[in-house]
Structure 1
Amino acid sequence: MKLVNTSVKRPVGVIMIVLAILALGFVSMRNLVIDLFPKIDLPIAVVATTYQDAAPQEVENLISRPIESSVSSVEGIETVQSQSQSGSSLVMMMFKNGTDLDQALLDVREKIDQTKGLLPEDAGDPSVLRFSPDQMPVMWVGLTGKDPAALTKIAEDQLVPFFERQGGVASVTVEGGKEREIQLVLDQAKLQQYGVTPQGLTQALNSSNKSLSAGSVEKGNQDLQIRVTGEFDSIDDIKQTIVQTENGATIHVEDVAKVKDTYKASQTATLVNGEPSVVLSIMKKTDGNTVQVSDNIKAGMDEIKGSLPADVNLDVIIDTSEFITLSINSVVQNILLGGIISIVILLLFLKSIRATLVIGLSIPIAIISTFTLMYFTGETLNVLTLGGLALGIGMMVDSSIVILENIYSYRQRGYSLFEAATKGASELAPAVIASTTTTLVVFLPIVFVEGIASDLFTPLALAVSFSLIASLVVAVTLVPMLSSKLLSKAMEDHGRRYWFDRFMNRVNNGYRNVLKWVLKHRKTTVFGTLAAIIASLALVPFIGAEFIPASDQGQVQIQVEAPAGSSLKHTEEIVEQVNGKLDAYEELMETSYVSVGGSGFGVGAASGDTATYTIQLIPSSDREKTTDDIVQEINNEIKDIPGAEITVSSMESGMSMGDPVQIQLSGPEHEVLRELSDQVVASISDINGVYNPESSAAEGVPQQTITINEDKAAMYGLTQEQITGQIQLQFTGQAATKYREAGHEMDVTMIYPEDERSQISDLQNMKITSPSGAAVPLEDVAEFKEMQGPVTLQRENQQPQLNVTSDVVDRDLAGVVSDIEATLDEMNFPEGYSYKIGGQAEDMADSFSDLAMALIFSIFLVYAVMAVQFENFLFPFIIMFSMPATVIGVMLGLFATGLPLSIPAFIGVIMLAGIVVNNSIVLVDYINILRRKGIDRYEAILQAGPSRLRPILMTTLTTILGMVPLALALGEGAETQQPLAITIIFGLGVSSIFTLLLIPVVYTLFDDLTGKITRRKKKKA
């Protein structure tokens, strides 16, 4: 080939090009975005709407349903879900994969604009948002000290602006801080004594706290702006504000209220390692590099710590980049180990350091070139793309091995270095290109697979493809050039017998004898293979299936749910009990962060009856137990704590795939669904592998309902609005005005003393002030009733829905789902009610279906490539008989290692379709060459088998052993790639054995069949 001749003739040019590619690769590698997993494009949009003081049923009927109906017609929508709760509606739209979300958002906004007129007048304007997994913080930083108020001030004034200036940071949110407030604690007796109402106080404060523009006045040649200033300059100004009484007298605010400079009553509490703390959650920009942002924050922390008070500590609570860094490092180590193993195998076979160096160079060049291609295609550096390189480490040398072997054979025949390099490389370059193409084409269908499987493994496919293309270019350019310069004395025996050659001779002789036996017992060989395939398929029920193997990231979440309506104080008491149980695990924990009364990391509405723990364990290499083992131990320890429902689970930061099992119950009535969900939870709880089953049906919050009698209220000249306003003022307070100090603005809030608003009797005995000034008991104009408050109402595709979710432990997902479906089928669902399995189980089923189609398409493409190469339809068919035998290896590998079939394992099967045929191609091609030289078929097979055994063993062993570090799951985050490596190692290993024995037998059978057909045609002719 011209390319080969040019590379050998112009070695300096080739070297300069290689150096330029390496330099570009290093630059690209430094600029690649580092992340744990590839970016998952979730085509999801959200419409959020508020409807103050409305019950969930009203929100559902008046807000959620009209919005659902309007957006359901938007092109590309797959599912519409809604949550209607007191005062707000959330409608979530999930679009089909491949939908242009930008255009879809425009369509949704247009539909919402058309629907606004149908919504209640007092409903808020709907806001359309894009949902993105990047909205989760990358780091949480804790600020601890003795004074919570001082910590809040430090966080807001110093840390937030400082951290937001760091590179890649989008925003910083403060949780657990104290919000300053000026309280006017009203004295009910003095208000009545002076005849002053709270409304009168509010008017007095607002009129005294104003700065207005009053026009302008001329002064010489200038116009001076007139501004009347009257804002409060100090707390004393608030105290001294003049209030007019009904009698025309003047008093000061401090005469009827105690003015306090304090903080708003906190609805949440945050504890870091048991100490009250202020927590800062840091979000990165959409295109930000997680590891780089984390490094910038850490460097900034070191810089700003010196300016903090001595009694204030600033520490990292959770850093998502730590696991990313550990995972990337472990994959890099696996690549290095795999490369070293491959080079040792080459050295063993080639018995020459120079020859090994020539082939070994293809590994770093291919890897570094891949970084360049990844950069320009917008891929990130993550455990999957690097895992692709680790998987391809052994395959990168295959093309170079074949080329070098042929060059060496020409050299032994007496050709010069130049002639051996050009002829040897040119002769096999087409076969090498075709062989590499069969490996590459299997990835084409993966690119067209939709969903999460595509998002995750398309980058892996690209990484492997880039590395193989780069290694192919090296094989047909750099290897011939280096061979012509370095291999003058390489691989010479010098009269000595190399021990490995003696071993290989014995292997060759053994293989020849076995080959003779299978050729004599062809039926036994074929039926024996079929029996082995059938027997391996019998292992399927014992292997099971799962979606994607979870990485042991060492993060534990504990969800504490006190009885609905519990006070913050009561929940904190339960948290103290949990803390006492967690003391036994102190050595295993790096950090423990709990948000009491919040919703975990400050996401969602605060609720005083919940608490969320986030525990970061020490790295998996430093502990003997897995995260799941620790989760179950903690669960057994704290599940019996009375007065709360406590759930312990492991977390998957970076790539959360949702709940393993999600049972979606649908039907016309919410109440019936609530009853059904409780029955389902009870039914599946006893299934082996089901862990922490729970229903999404929330308990109603106990509430005191006040029904105002409008007729009685009218008798006193009162309206419902006036009565409601006075109740709110008594029990929640009312903002009267704003007070500004040193650039900060805070509420001036009127509130009654706590002892007048803490008991039910305080509510029942409350006096309502009428317009005439009379004090009317609330119970005279209203009725009281204690009842359960409203709950969140869920709908999917315009039908009521409830979800029952569960984790899975000590068992495969497919087996658990199968038992759950059997249990649900035995339940008597009312007419009109049904269930559907969602969550990871649904994603797994969809992905397996898509990948099965991809596998079929891949096999067809491999056949097409070989048909073009051989210009024959029969030989590719013979070669492809090596594929069924891979089933034996795959099943044995998964069964022996205890790994279920998963998406990575399925990707491995697809890769095998392109890899296993390479050995068969080498064997069948050489048999044909010998037969064209006039050698008898039987003798041609006996010559071709042993002579091709050496390159087949070299390419197979470098591929298999190069993946061993990944198969052992060495280091953090390697669990995701382990099934892929196990599948390829066992599949290729077993298939290679069958290739060397079964393919010659199939070759003879088809040759006999072809001969019979040919003879029949001749007789007819």
Structure 2
Amino acid sequence: MANFFIDRPVFAWVLAIITMLAGVLAIRGLPVQQYPQIAPPTISINATYPGASAETVENAVTQIIEQRLTGIDNLRYFQSSSSDGAMSISLTFEPEADPDIAQVQTQNKVQGAVTQLPQEVQQMGVTVTKSNESFLLVVGLYSESNQMTQDEISDYLVTNFRDPISRINGVGNVRIFGEQHAMRVWLDPAKLYSFDMTPLDVQSAIQVQNTDISAGQLGGMPALDGQMINATIQAQSRLQTVEDFENIVLRVNENGSQVRIKDVAKVEIGAASYDGIVRYKRKPASGMAVMLATGANALETAKLVKDRVEELSSLLPSDLKVVYPYDTTPFVKLSIKSVIQTLLEAIVLVFCVMYLFLQNFRATLIPTIAVPVVLLGTFTILSLFGFTINTLTMFAMVLAIGLLVDDAIVVVENVERVMEEDKLPPKEATKKSMGQITGALVGIAAVLSTVFIPMAFFSGSAGGIYRQFSITIVSAMALSVAVALILSPSLCATLLKTTHHNENRFFFGWFNRNFNKARDGYQKTASYMAQRIARFFIIYLALIGVIVFMFNRLPSSFLPDEDQGSMFTMISAPAGSTAQRTLESVEQVEDFFLDGTDAVDHLFTVVGFSFAGSAQNAAFGFVGLKDWAERDESQSVFALAGQAMGAFSQIKDASAFAFFPPPIRELGNASGFDLQLVDRAGVGHETLMNARNQLLGMAAQSEVLTGVRPNGLSDVPQYKINID
């Protein structure tokens, strides 16, 4: 095969150019992400039950839906969470499951349970979304000069941003931090009692009178003889103003007098809920967390979201500003940029090393040309396999650079040897050389491939990570052999000339003399060791023992934690605390991050929400750090988390934890691991909570665990009313 291309160098160049063009086109279409997609598909079920306690939601909604989640293909497990007024169920499927099919099957199962749910839940709706639980980014609005209240900001965000953002391709779900405006009816119990009425009477009247009515048509078919006009009749639609709601009739007395809502209640426009307090740098704010759809590309989706936000921002009031309190994409871009920079540096270093030893520019040029051909061709293979440009595939290319030029160097060195020993012209020397080394080149590629191919068959998350790495490096090896058999011989036949190395000129002469001295020293050392095999074999075994000992002592982990430029803070006030009481502890957290350190750029806090659950005694903070170039090692996210935990220990009325995002965002919201207790014996909730508290106490005393915290909220006080 080599002789065919040696005689047809133009054909070899055409194949190389086609390979490079295909690679360029593949790069334009390949998605970019930090790591390969390894998280299994997840489906989320969410429902709202206004005014219900967590126990009521668990019994009346969560358990009803859970009982229906049977017979779903490839379902691995599901976990649910019930809180006051809301519930969520997260279903995790096998990696090979189709997310679309999983969503359809889950939707069908949920639909069968809807009729058994309370009427209020049915009216609010049960949503089934194909999204991850972790956040891709958070879009925030805040009042720069405090001219707008949080309720006004939240209503603006919900009205103008929620629907356009949630419809973007790649967005699985959105979560609003804040509430939109609603018509609030504040009942006066004394006045209700005086009119012998109950809150249910008011609720029924609002439902009946605040509705759209189909009033029919005038002159609709079949019409009376002589009817000459056809028109649609419009009746009163839904109520719009405070006055409309105040005038809702609750009862008509026998004497013709009427009891209206304004007689028993105060009506005003307010927030749908007052459980949350949202602040950005201590200023009133609102936010929207964007969750990625299963299988969607993070960078592409984030770009679409930001473009849409920028478009909508042109209509913002002058006092409202858009911020991104939490964004996972800058670190991903920086990681990919760093790997690409390393790739370019490796190419330059490989060229310099080859020129240093070959000492012939023409000979150095041949393996150098092989580098872009092989790398661009590898991108084509990545596209064919449906892979992405990520840190692992790029790292595989960095590693492959040193290996792929070996084949071309072998070709060049052997051709030069044949030219020098047999005194043949370049073309004839190349043909003779390729007859000698073709089998060796194929054998080298086969041996190297057998080292990396088994990694492609790893199972689980490790397989998802290393599969793309393995295929990438093996593809590069295969292409390097193809280039060594097709393009490199053609280049040798046309570029190489009968020349002599510059053995005694300037730098090369000095380098060759010192290299020869080092070679002679190595030969003497090897000869000395060969004469004392037993002694050095014992040293060799001792070194192996030291390596095994050190290997066993090294800590192991899935992926190392990294400074991603952001961190989280979770605050838990005593059970039953109000939002205002929780805010006092949040303010102490704000004091540390905004005034106690120079490493923080911004802080976005939400009272009423945390990864542990939603309640007035829970709060969460998204901490954005300054750019990496503006921080030193003492201001890294790891150092800052330690400093924060020291400062948080001074907070007396709440417990606060500082932690950072995990290396792979799809696998959770925080680094570390979760441990769950399951009541398989049915011992009851109280016993389960006691066991949890005992486990937390034992874990807190461990020397190998840090940041131990409950992954849920404590039970809150409840008053039970027995109605007479």
TM-score normalised by L of structure 1: 0.62
Q: Aligned ranges for residues 634-649 of structure 1 at < 5 Å? A: 634-649=644-659
Residue aligning to 1:892: none
**Residue 561 of structure 2 is aligned to residue 550 of structure 1:** yes
Residue aligning to 1:683: 698
Residue aligning to 1:388: 396
**Residue 533 of structure 2 is aligned to residue 517 of structure 1:** no
Deviation, 1:232, is: 4.3
Deviation, 1:707, is: 1.9
| Partners of 1:42 and 1:132 within 8 A in 2 | no
Q: 1:272 to 1:85 in 2, by over 3 A?
A: closer
Of 704, 707, 717, the match for 1:702? 717
| Partners of 1:137 and 1:284 within 8 A in 2 | yes
| Partners of 2:599 and 2:631 within 8 A in 1 | yes
Q: Aligned ranges for residues 14-413 of structure 1 at < 5 Å? A: 14-43=12-41, 56=55, 59=58, 64=63, 67=66, 71=70, 94=92, 98=96, 132-133=131-132, 136-145=135-144, 146-148=147-149, 149-160=151-162, 163=165, 173-183=175-185, 186=188, 188-189=190-191, 206-207=208-209, 211-217=213-219, 218=223, 223-229=230-236, 232=239, 234-240=241-247, 244-251=251-258, 253=260, 254-283=262-291, 288-413=296-421
Whole-angstrom CA distance in 2 between matches of 1:45 and 1:264: 27
**Residue 563 of structure 2 is aligned to residue 563 of structure 1:** no
Residue aligning to 1:425: 434
Whole-angstrom CA distance in 2 between matches of 1:699 and 1:657: 25
Residue aligning to 1:612: 620
Whole-angstrom CA distance in 2 between matches of 1:648 and 1:74: 38
Deviations 1:277-307 (A, max 9, x none): 1213345565654334434444455555443
Q: Aligned ranges for residues 356-505 of structure 1 at < 5 Å? A: 356-413=364-421, 414-489=423-498, 492-493=501-502, 498-505=509-516
Secondary structure class of the residue paired with 1:548: coil
**Residue 641 of structure 2 is aligned to residue 631 of structure 1:** yes
Deviations 1:515-568 (A, max 9, x none): 333333333343332222122212234323222111211221111000111111
Whole-angstrom CA distance in 2 between matches of 1:203 and 1:495: 102
The residue identity in structure 2 corresponding to 1:641 is I
Q: 1:301 to 1:61 in 2, by over 3 A?
A: closer
Secondary structure class of the residue paired with 2:559: coil
Q: 1:211 to 1:56 in 2, by over 3 A?
A: closer
Whole-angstrom CA distance in 2 between matches of 1:263 and 1:685: 40
How high is the sequence identity, in percent, across the aligned residues?
21
The residue identity in structure 1 corresponding to 2:703 is N
| Partners of 2:278 and 2:604 within 8 A in 1 | yes
Whole-angstrom CA distance in 1 between matches of 2:30 and 2:692: 47
Q: 1:635 to 1:420 in 2, by over 3 A?
A: same
Whole-angstrom CA distance in 1 between matches of 2:184 and 2:78: 45
Deviation, 1:13, is: 1.8
Secondary structure class of the residue paired with 1:133: strand
The residue identity in structure 2 corresponding to 1:346 is M
Secondary structure class of the residue paired with 1:183: strand
Secondary structure class of the residue paired with 1:361: helix
The residue identity in structure 2 corresponding to 1:351 is Q
Whole-angstrom CA distance in 2 between matches of 1:617 and 1:480: 54
Deviation, 1:676, is: 3.6
Deviations 1:203-258 (A, max 9, x none): 66644865332454247566444444465465444445566543423247345544
| Partners of 1:144 and 1:278 within 8 A in 2 | no
Residue aligning to 1:712: none
Q: Aligned ranges for residues 645-724 of structure 1 at < 5 Å? A: 645-652=655-662, 654-655=664-665, 657-658=667-668, 660-665=672-677, 668=681, 669-670=683-684, 671-696=686-711, 698-708=713-723
Whole-angstrom CA distance in 2 between matches of 1:36 and 1:550: 14
Whole-angstrom CA distance in 2 between matches of 1:654 and 1:22: 32
Residue aligning to 1:755: none
| Partners of 1:49 and 1:89 within 8 A in 2 | yes
Whole-angstrom CA distance in 2 between matches of 1:395 and 1:99: 37
Whole-angstrom CA distance in 1 between matches of 2:687 and 2:156: 51
Secondary structure class of the residue paired with 1:690: coil
Deviation, 1:508, is: 2.7
Deviations 1:44-96 (A, max 9, x none): 5667788996874995799749957984x877665565656778876666555
| Partners of 1:593 and 1:614 within 8 A in 2 | yes
Whole-angstrom CA distance in 1 between matches of 2:570 and 2:280: 16
Secondary structure class of the residue paired with 1:279: strand
Whole-angstrom CA distance in 2 between matches of 1:66 and 1:263: 30
Deviations 1:95-119 (A, max 9, x none): 55556677777887888899999x8
| Partners of 2:132 and 2:172 within 8 A in 1 | no
RMSD over equivalenced CA pairs, Å:
3.9
Whole-angstrom CA distance in 1 between matches of 2:159 and 2:120: 35
Whole-angstrom CA distance in 2 between matches of 1:240 and 1:65: 39
Whole-angstrom CA distance in 1 between matches of 2:65 and 2:161: 44
Residue aligning to 1:8: 6
Q: 1:171 to 1:260 in 2, by over 3 A?
A: same
Whole-angstrom CA distance in 2 between matches of 1:50 and 1:264: 13
Specify every segment of 5 or more residues in structure 1 that has no aligned partner in the other structure, as ranges: 709-780, 782-1021
TM-score normalised by L of structure 2: 0.85
Whole-angstrom CA distance in 2 between matches of 1:642 and 1:202: 42
Whole-angstrom CA distance in 2 between matches of 1:502 and 1:221: 113
Matched positions, count: 701
Specify every segment of 5 or more residues in structure 2 that has no aligned partner in the other structure, as ranges: none
The residue identity in structure 2 corresponding to 1:369 is G
Deviations 1:118-137 (A, max 9, x none): x8998979979576538633
Secondary structure class of the residue paired with 1:137: strand
Residue aligning to 1:581: 592
Whole-angstrom CA distance in 1 between matches of 2:112 and 2:473: 49
| Partners of 2:181 and 2:269 within 8 A in 1 | no
Whole-angstrom CA distance in 1 between matches of 2:91 and 2:186: 46
Secondary structure class of the residue paired with 1:660: coil
Secondary structure class of the residue paired with 2:485: helix
The residue identity in structure 2 corresponding to 1:35 is Q
Secondary structure class of the residue paired with 1:17: helix
Deviation, 1:587, is: 2.3
Secondary structure class of the residue paired with 1:260: strand
Deviation, 1:162, is: 5.5
Whole-angstrom CA distance in 2 between matches of 1:238 and 1:680: 53
Of 485, 506, 512, the match for 2:517? 506
Secondary structure class of the residue paired with 1:492: coil
The residue identity in structure 1 corresponding to 2:465 is L
